[in-house]
Amino acid sequence: MPMSFQPPNQPENQHGPGQQPGSPYPPTSSTPIPGPAPFGGAPGAPGNAGFPGGMPGGMPGNAGFPGGPGFNQTGGFQPSNKGGSGAKLFTILVFAVPLIGLGVGAFLYFNAKSDADKKTQEVLEQLNNITVPDFTVPDFTVPSITVPSITVPSITVPPITVTPLTLPGTVVPIAPTETTLDATATTAVGVEPTVAETVPAPGSWLEADGPVQFTNALEAAISGDPSRFLTIAIYPTYGFAQAQDANNLAHVDEFPVQGGVVGPSSPVNLVGGGELEPSLFSLADVDWAVVSASIAAAPGQTTIEEPAADYVLIERSSFIEGNPVTVKVYVNGPRGGGFVEYDGAGTLIKVVQ
């Protein structure tokens, strides 16, 4: 709302055109100020005393009084700004403190970096001033080394005779490396001398009629009628037989057979409290004519890789009821072995591998 100021009680004859009577100031026009009245009051109505903005009854209003709040002699009223200096100071501090901190940090950083660069430059200068002295490696000659000749003395191994090992009821023969059989030799325990029986040696005792010739030689050389055997073991070129001494039925002796010759006997140590008689058999308990056929068929009865018959063991079986005489053909290969068991008539009993 437009507002103006006019000093009171001025003489009317002193004003000119456009000038209030008695006004000491040049003629002016009133200046409008938009917005609400100062101090939140409603616009004042003219007072009885001529004060613009005065209250009814002639009381001067708050706004428009010379020297009062918001009064500007040249430009009219301006809104007051109480508390503005504190807000400005706070705003200045909010921005100034971080900037000062950044400045201090930047100063410290660049100062430290400058020191580090100086130290680095000093080290590089010191390294550049280092001079490696020249040196010469003297010539040297590796002395020759002569290894003295070494003569290994010859070693002569004397002949070794290995005595066959025996277990009760089982023959574990080991082929002797050198054995000389004497037909007139006697046993070390005083057993009557046995005349060596010579039989033609086949290519292998396990082939053709080899088993028949082998057992015929035993029957002729061993006492007893018929001879009674505990075990018979036949290998391709030699064999063994453990037989009862007909002159002392409590004794069992072992007879080697090699090169077609039955050698002198050696005693067998019997252990255990069992009876000897149930374990003995005669040659008539086995059909020797079919033994060679059983030997030939045994490798094919197994799944052993590259099988071949190794030896044959004839004895009474303690694992079959009635303890019958059995023929076990042992088969071996490069990756394992086993045995094929037949009865005395050549009937297959079992294959173990």
Residue where a domain terminates, one of 78, 100, 133: 78
- Helix spans in the chain (H): 84-128, 210-221, 288-297
- Within this chain, do residues 295 and 183 fall inside the same structural domain, yes or no? yes
Checking if the pLDDT of 315 tops 90, the result is: yes
Least Cα distance to 167 among 228, 218, 215, 231 occurs for: 231
- Within this chain, do residues 217 and 335 fall inside the same structural domain, yes or no? yes
- Residue 140 falls within a domain, yes or no? no
3-state secondary structure of 68: coil
Higher pLDDT residue, 240 or 79?
A: 240
Cis peptide before 226 (omega within 30 of 0): yes
What value does the mean pLDDT of the chain take? 73
Higher pLDDT residue, 30 or 121?
A: 121
- Within this chain, do residues 190 and 47 fall inside the same structural domain, yes or no? no
Residue where a domain terminates, one of 41, 58, 78: 78
3-state secondary structure of 102: helix
- Residue 106 falls within a domain, yes or no? no
Name the domain count of the chain. Answer: 2
- Residue 125 falls within a domain, yes or no? no
Checking if the pLDDT of 64 tops 70, the result is: no
- pLDDT of res. 160: 56
- Within this chain, do residues 298 and 195 fall inside the same structural domain, yes or no? yes
- Residue 71 falls within a domain, yes or no? yes
- Within this chain, do residues 58 and 190 fall inside the same structural domain, yes or no? no
- pLDDT digit string (tens) for 9-36? 544 444 445 444 544 545 544 444 444 4
- Within this chain, do residues 73 and 170 fall inside the same structural domain, yes or no? no
- Within this chain, do residues 180 and 58 fall inside the same structural domain, yes or no? no
- Residue 101 falls within a domain, yes or no? no
Residue where a domain terminates, one of 28, 53, 78: 78
- Residue 248 falls within a domain, yes or no? yes
- Residue 92 falls within a domain, yes or no? no
**Has this prediction a pTM greater than 0.75?**
no
- Residue 260 falls within a domain, yes or no? yes
Its domain, for residue 38, covers 1-78
| CA-to-CA separations, 272 to 170, 197, 251, 303, in angstroms, rounded | 13, 33, 14, 37
- Within this chain, do residues 61 and 174 fall inside the same structural domain, yes or no? no
- Within this chain, do residues 289 and 175 fall inside the same structural domain, yes or no? yes
